[in-house]
Amino acid sequence: MSSNAILTDDKTLYNKSNGVLFHQRNINKELVANIPKMPRLPFQKWVWFNMESPENSLPISKCNQAFNLTCNYHLDSDIPVPYGYMEPLTSEDERFKLPAKDKLVCWIVSNWKARFRRVEFYNELKKHVEIHTDGRAFGKRVNPEEYSRIILTCKFYLSFENSIFRDYITDKLFRPMRMGAVPIALGPSRQMYEEHVPRDSFIHFEDFSSPMVQLYLVF
């Protein structure tokens, strides 16, 4: 991005803007009428922005052909914006000490639906190992400070996405890693995860034939 670029939500500058960003989640049937009319200005780019998976993004047919650039978590997006990424260690990072762990497996979750693959996996895994659970799904709301405190005490964290789609790898993976917990990832393929993080930095739910086998081989 140019150092002279200006980001603003001032809609009065629309006619002067080289690019206009539209957030998918803020577009609905009522708001479609408020989208600037086509054709767009000759020098202008309209950018579709969305960080949710297709399952959580309703299609808006009236917006078909409206955008000429994409911006989201897909690595092949025109403007890729992943939920996280790895950076080389600094001298300060190298002084990091792994905190004491008194919990084997933790999971903090709010969005609970019986049909979710992650719920099915959890229901099987909990038969074999104790899982410390928090979040609205378990009647325990967790604020950011509590989230960090919980993760710091866990050896493994269930980094389970609410839906499984290409490149949909969210902060459910990256936040626990930053706090010294090993993610057990449920989402797209292992190969896609390895495009974001080292292959030996996480456990993929398809690494073993079942949660039972995973229990014995990992825990």
Q: Is 92 a catalytic residue?
A: no
**Where residue 56 falls among pLDDT bands split at 50, 70, 90?**
confident
Query: Do residues 203 and 218 touch, judged by C-beta distance below 8 A?
Result: yes
Location of each CATH 3.40.50.11660 domain in the chain: 93-218
Q: Which CATH number, 3.30.750.200, 3.40.630.40, 3.40.50.11660, 3.40.50.720, labels domain 93-218?
A: 3.40.50.11660
Long-range contacts of 114-120 (CB under 8 A, 24+ apart): 116/162, 116/163, 117/164, 117/186, 118/158, 118/160, 118/161, 118/162, 118/186
pLDDT, the chain, mean? 86
Question: Residue 29: CA atoms inside 13 Å, Cβ hemisphere, count?
Answer: 1
**177-200: average pLDDT:** 94
Catalytic residue among 52, 130, 145, 161: 52
pTM score, whole prediction: 0.84
